[in-house]
Amino acid sequence: MSDIIYTKVDEAPELASASFLPIIQKFASAAGVSVGTKDISLAGRILATFPEALSAEQQQSDDLAELGKLVKTPDANVIKLPNISASVPQLVEAVKELQSQGFALPDYPEAPSTEAEKAIRAKYDTIKGSAVNPVLREGNSDRRAAKAVKSYAQSNPHRMGAWTGASKTRVSSMTGGDFFSNEKSATLAKEATAKIVLETATGETVLKEGISYPAGTVVDATFMSAAALDTFLAQEIASTKEEGTLFSLHMKATMMKVSDPIIFGHAVKVFLKPVFDIYGPEMADLGVNPNSGLGDLLERVKGKPEIMSAIDACMNKRPPMYMVDSDKGITNLHVPSDVIIDASMPALIRAGGKGWGPDGKESDTNCVIPDNSYAPIYDESIKFFKENGALNPATAGTVQNIGLMAQKAEEYGSHPTTFEMPAAGTVKMILDDGTVLHEHKVEEGDIWRSASTRKAPIEDWVNLAISRQKAEGIEAIFWLDADRAHDAELIAYVTPILEAQGVADKFQIMAPREATRASLETITKGENSIAITGNVLRDYLTDLFPILELATSAKMLSIVKLMNGGGLFETGAGGSAPKHVQQLMEENHLRWDSLGEFCALGESLKFLADAKGNEKARVLGLAVEAATQGILDNGNSPSRKVGEPDNRDSHYWFARYWADALATQSDDAELAAHFVPIAQALASGETAILSELAGAQGPAVDLGGYYHGNAAKTAAVMRPSATLNAIIG
């Protein structure tokens, strides 16, 4: 096993790795540190899942399973880049691409009927959605901007859209019948095994059994009423029209891979209700599944002029939709994975509450977030900025995050226990001693789910918060709502730990809405705050605050202290930036910023030094910090436009500053001597390297695939400087 594992992923970060990883490996080898890779890309995971369909040479090891084991050991030191959490349309596209490359994979069965098809579908379902992070995240998260990154953002403030009190932008959420209002929660006094059953007029169906929980687990159950959801969506479509704003739906169909695609499908059906009323059965025969989005629907009905004109007529009566790409006519409802709430809401808020309409113009927007559990944070942010104007990144303080995520905590681990109700009845969660832990009366189509949070992760999270607060000495708020069933159970854990450690006076506990306002007031004054949150708010806040403070969450440092002693270093908090790939393919410019990778690399090397007593790794790690500072001080981050320096230029500069720092440090003479000639070669090659990199930009490039690119073609595109390659080798 290598000392450090660097993950092979998808899209923009994977392209960046083609340029950056050879530099890391070259530099690390000088200190005897090996950096290996493990493939967690969507294509890699598909290939690893169907060995029986592939030839011996085509077969691929199950790297995710191996990593899943590694992160439970003290030896883990993993640098994790963002990977695709695939929606069904993305999964289908990736399978088609692999098939076209000669991999005889089975088609994704949209409507499996035979046992064989059901088995294939079950295998594909394991790959769907957020299937990587929950496996690797065997610890809680500490996400923040490194001090150098934050001060750079303050002295080089990014553009912010203006907010005025006249903005018609708002958040709309259900006022009842949602997950928030139906939630029940209990903490198990002893370990238990549970089953989930649905009792109907005709009998009992077991939805799931053999779910085992250790003592102290917080177990929640809740449901969203399909009827209430449809009524709410219809009302919001109508009021958006009246208000003259854009209709937008924000959810997390990737990470909430079972519940949210269903909610998304309801939005598609309600938006096109007149069409579904008449042509529903015919569209079903054509294989239309509203959960896959409008894009898939239009593709399937394009040969049916009658349906197409009914769709046009309906759309003309509807409010304009918030667009993903107005030039290409891609709406919010086209693909469930195009609009992902953690990134989409902050971008809209940063822009002054504006979204892009079908006319290619910016407009105020109704942000529909059906469930009311976490929507208040966006609602309150919008209210705050309407009252106070946009945040000023030059003077704003920062909000750090300590997130409870270990062992599939809370909603993000709820997929195996989420069900769309096949019939009306009563859902019961029954323990092995016969206790009915939770029960709900449901109607057909309601979305019922249970989530759980284990004791050890909760305690680890509270302790992580205590040590972070101690290190920073700043405001620290547990974002927990005493009036919400689940949060009340967590508070019952938090308060005694704080009291036992004598630090209760250093922490506040506030409901998300109040915590949002308090934190915005704090950073507006230029002060800092630590948000200590559950898993969903961890995800939301670590895009929201960075996007407002730093323009992007890519620059975040994301440390996961694994509960069994290892380290997982996630880069940034953002995603895999598909539109960056498109730009690279069209004009050979990659605007991906690797600052997240730089920060993670420094932490990983320092962790290696501490864990293994490897002092050379410490020297490398400290030099990484100097190099990162050099990138910021000298403005070497990538630009957005073709012809300007891009990701590859920033890697050259990073290598240069890294080599300089190593050549001039005095902690390790051997390393210094090794890097003197490398530093000299990088300096004397500057003109040639920069002109070779610049010369590559402009024309379209061929990567040999989107999901499963050709390694040699990608390397040729991402490493166009012969002078640099000769130094790096």
Ligand X SMILES: NC(=O)C1=CN([C@@H]2O[C@H](COP(=O)(O)OP(=O)(O)OC[C@H]3O[C@@H](n4cnc5c(N)ncnc54)[C@H](OP(=O)(O)O)[C@@H]3O)[C@@H](O)[C@H]2O)C=CC1
Ligand Y SMILES: O=C(O)CCC(=O)C(=O)O
Residues that bind ligand X (CB under 6 A): 82-85, 133, 254, 337, 340, 343, 552, 554, 572, 574-579, 591-593, 596
Structure tokens at 558: 């994301």
Structure tokens at 602: 């420094």
The residue type found at 644 is E
Restricting to residues 559-598, name those near ligand Y by CB under 6 A.
Answer: 573
Q: What pairs with residue 77 in β-bridges?
A: 567
Instruction: State yes or no: residue 660 binds ligand Y (CB under 6 A).
Output: no
Q: Which is nearer to Mg ion, 63 or 539 (CB)?
A: 539
Does the annotation place 539 within a ligand binding site? yes
Provide the minimum distance between the beta carbon of 283 and ligand X in the complex, in angstroms, as a whole number: 27
Instruction: State yes or no: residue 138 binds ligand Y (CB under 6 A).
Output: no
Structure tokens at 616: 């050379």
Does the annotation place 543 within a ligand binding site? yes
Using DSSP, state whether 644 is helix, strand or coil: coil
- DSSP track, 697-724: -SS----S-SSS--HHHHHHHH---HHH
Largest CA distance in the chain: 81
Name the one residue in this structure whose structure tokens are 């967590």.
Answer: 490
Structure tokens at 308: 């197409």
Instruction: State yes or no: residue 130 binds ligand Y (CB under 6 A).
Output: yes
Rounded CA-CA distance 598/15 in Å is 15
Instruction: State yes or no: residue 133 binds ligand Y (CB under 6 A).
Output: yes
Does the annotation place 442 within a ligand binding site? no
Provide the minimum distance between the beta carbon of 717 and ligand X in the complex, in angstroms, as a whole number: 18
Instruction: State yes or no: residue 335 binds ligand Y (CB under 6 A).
Output: no
The torsion of the CA quartet 651, 652, 653, 655, rounded to 10 degrees, works out to 80
Does the annotation place 388 within a ligand binding site? no
Q: Which is nearer to ligand Y, 85 or 248 (CB)?
A: 85
Instruction: State yes or no: residue 11 binds ligand Y (CB under 6 A).
Output: no
- In the list ligand X, ligand Y, Mg ion, none, the entry touching 593 (Cβ below 5 to 8 angstroms by class) is ligand X
Does the annotation place 538 within a ligand binding site? yes
Q: What DSSP designation does 2 have? A: -
Does the annotation place 591 within a ligand binding site? yes
Tell me if 47 sits within 8 A of 58, measured CB to CB.
yes
Instruction: State yes or no: residue 539 binds Mg ion (CB under 5 A).
Output: yes
Provide the minimum distance between the beta carbon of 493 and Mg ion in the complex, in angstroms, as a whole number: 25
Task: Pick the piece of the chain touching Mg ion (CB under 5 A) from 279-287, 539-547, 634-642, 694-702.
Answer: 539-547
Alpha helices in 577-685 (DSSP H): 578-587, 595-612, 615-633, 647-664, 669-684
Instruction: State yes or no: residue 487 binds ligand Y (CB under 6 A).
Output: no
Does the annotation place 640 within a ligand binding site? yes
Provide the minimum distance between the beta carbon of 344 and ligand Y in the complex, in angstroms, as a whole number: 11
Environment class of 328 (CB within 10 Å of its CB; exposed 0-12, middle 13-18, buried 19+)? exposed
Provide the minimum distance between the beta carbon of 340 and Mg ion in the complex, in angstroms, as a whole number: 8
Contact string 203-242 vs ligand Y (x = CB under 6 A) = ----------------------------------------
- In the list ligand X, ligand Y, Mg ion, none, the entry touching 183 (Cβ below 5 to 8 angstroms by class) is none
Instruction: State yes or no: residue 411 binds Mg ion (CB under 5 A).
Output: no
Does the annotation place 163 within a ligand binding site? no
Does the annotation place 137 within a ligand binding site? yes
Q: What pairs with residue 366 in β-bridges?
A: 170, 247
Rounded CA-CA distance 369/225 in Å is 15
Please name the residues in contact with 573: beta carbons below 8 A apart, sequence gap of 6 or more.
143, 542, 543, 546, 553, 554, 556, 558, 596
Please name the residues in contact with 729: beta carbons below 8 A apart, sequence gap of 6 or more.
22, 26
Provide the minimum distance between the beta carbon of 591 and ligand Y in the complex, in angstroms, as a whole number: 20
Q: Using CB under 5 A, which of 342, 380, 593, 597 touches Mg ion?
A: 342
Phi then psi dihedrals of residue 448, to 5 deg: -105, 140
Number of residues that bind Mg ion (CB under 5 A): 2
Provide the minimum distance between the beta carbon of 577 and ligand Y in the complex, in angstroms, as a whole number: 12
Instruction: State yes or no: residue 255 binds ligand Y (CB under 6 A).
Output: yes
Does the annotation place 721 within a ligand binding site? no
Using DSSP, state whether 251 is helix, strand or coil: strand
Structure tokens at 131: 């299937």
Does the annotation place 513 within a ligand binding site? no
Q: Which is nearer to ligand X, 332 or 723 (CB)?
A: 332
Rounded CA-CA distance 257/418 in Å is 10
Q: Which is nearer to ligand Y, 342 or 603 (CB)?
A: 342
Does the annotation place 658 within a ligand binding site? no
CA 1 → CA 4, 36, 76, 654, distances in Å? 8, 8, 10, 27
Provide the minimum distance between the beta carbon of 575 and ligand Y in the complex, in angstroms, as a whole number: 6
Provide the minimum distance between the beta carbon of 43 and ligand Y in the complex, in angstroms, as a whole number: 17
- In the list ligand Y, Mg ion, ligand X, none, the entry touching 576 (Cβ below 5 to 8 angstroms by class) is ligand X
Number of residue whose CB is nearest ligand X: 575
Of 191, 19, 115, 166, nearest to 717 by C-alpha is 19
Binding site for ligand Y (CB under 6 A): 85, 130, 133, 254-255, 342, 539, 542, 573
Please report, in range form, the residues annotated as the binding site for D-threo-isocitrate.
143, 538
Binding site for Mg ion (CB under 5 A): 342, 539
Please report, in range form, the residues annotated as the binding site.
80-85, 130-137, 143, 342, 538-539, 543, 575-576, 580, 591-593, 640
